A and B are shown apart, each in its own frame.
Chain A
């Protein structure tokens, strides 16, 4: 089990008060996680001691910066059990990783009438790139429906698969319902149907042990900022054969081996997809974040979150007028999206904020999912390794306060 009180000491932000005497209760890690001191210090040390542009330089700092940048890639590769660090491409975030696949792989491989399967619980970042391609190329989009209890309807998925899709792109864990989808099974079925797979792992890699080889996925995307790392850096993992065959995405420095006035040759993986000066300090911070999570153990983190989530669902459901969305704790990560009868989610979030409780209100970049459930918005509390049951209790008393005010 995690020693949460010790863990909280690793995060400087928990020392701050939102106003005198009110401590911060941060229940918005699904949007972005807080950062441990070790990550902040790694980036700080990089800028103080090693800052230089990477790769081409031969001076000491350039060598050092390059090593740090590449060591982080190796750590990240190990963290998701990628066969090689060359398959770990740095991007800005999950969104850019998905767009990389949409712009490079999909434009080289999809034509009018080709079917791409998504789900009804996707974040906008795994919808809009495909909608753009639909308008541009005339590809077709099919959606695995979400059941009343927030699970994917796998029978409908099998029906969709019989239409011969080219790509199945889905979220490993919903950022609203919290549903942890059976990724390995979805991928196996997709492969049997001859489709390529892309996993939006923005919410899974931070919270669960994710092994890309065990999953067998072709592509997988995630962001550092949701897993104790900095903003501005993410990863696209891909299978070697696919990445090698893909045309470059952005053109410029670093992604080339040789440039003539009218032509270029692309660089080897992963540099082929890393045009321009990348987020170097962020890569260093990302590596430190992965070290931090590994030292605690992803299984222990997942177990802690599960315990908190189970407790939170139990307590929230006791409150008259509160309706929690998504499946039971058994199928769910640390997310509780809810409504309170008669009170708009904005008002709920704002009143909780007065007591230092940070929850999110809105459609959480999953507007179609909210429409499916007939809701313009929900309030969402989410939990990570540093959250406690005591914080859940404070959330619950906060909601009672809201009810009183609007009662």
Chain B
């Protein structure tokens, strides 16, 4: 019906393909957006060549945050970790296929922020990871 809630977003929100938690895992990170209570945890398994063998997200929040996490997991499986480190804001917006205002952008970028903090092995997820 409208742009922001394109079918793909509602679909990934309602029926996520990559919701869950990998155990054992090689990378794990979680963070939340205190403004709206969105929360995302990501777990990854990597293979010998440094590629993502499998990826899952868990958490709660708005459709934008949860759908972007699901789309992101789908996109990174099979990709080299080095490539994941290069992902940026525009990649997420391209996946979602929408434009977002400053408030909702935070929702959309939470999963990327968590993912990058995880693959970089950082102690804390900072906004500068997704500038």
Contact = CB atoms under 8 A, between A and B. Distances in A.
B123 interface: no
B104 A346 contact: yes
Nearest to A401: B1
B35 A405 contact: no
Interface stretch (B17-25, B57-65, B88-96): B57-65
B36 A406 contact: no
A346 B107 contact: yes
Contact of B36 (A351, A361, A401, A405): A361
Interface in B21-56: 34-38
Bin the interface of chain B by size.
10 to 19
Interface string A392-407: 0000000001000110
Contacts of A351: 2, 4-5
B10 A346 contact: no
B36 A350 contact: no
Contacts of B2: 351, 354
A406 B63 CA distance: 9
A344 B61 contact: yes
Interface of A is mostly: helix
B62 A363 contact: no
B5 A346 contact: no
A372 to B, nearest CB: 14
Contacts of A252: none
Contact of A405 (B5, B34, B38): B5
Contact of B64 (A346, A362, A401): A346
Contacts, number: 48
Which of B1, B5, B61, B62 gathers the greatest number of chain A CB atoms within 10 Å? B62
Nearest to B32: A376
A367 interface: yes
Interface in A301-347: 343-347
A371 to B, nearest CB: 10
A346 B1 contact: no
A347 B37 contact: no
A377 interface: yes
B37 A377 contact: yes
B37 A354 contact: no
Nearest to B4: A350
Given A350-B104, A405-B10, A406-B10, A344 B36 contact: yes
B35 A362 contact: yes
Given A354-B4, A405-B10, A406-B10, A346 B34 contact: no
Interface string A212-231: 00000000000000000000
B41 to A, nearest CB: 15
Contacts of A362: 35-36
A376 B37 contact: yes
B101 to A, nearest CB: 9
Contacts of A350: 4-5, 62, 104
Interface string A361-392: 11100010000000111000000000000000
Contacts of A346: 36, 61-62, 64, 104, 107
Contacts of A375: 37
Nearest to A342: B14
Interface string B61-74: 11110000000000
Q: Give the top 3 A-B pairs by smallest Cβ distance, nearest first.
A: A376-B37, A344-B62, A346-B62
Given A345-B62, A346-B62, A354-B2, 20 more contacts: A343-B63, A346-B36, A346-B61, A347-B62, A347-B63, A350-B5, A351-B2, A354-B4, A361-B36, A363-B35, A363-B36, A363-B37, A375-B37, A376-B36, A376-B60, A377-B37, A405-B1, A405-B5, A405-B10, A406-B63
12 contacts: A343-B63, A344-B62, A345-B36, A346-B62, A347-B5, A347-B63, A351-B5, A363-B36, A376-B36, A376-B37, A405-B1, A406-B63
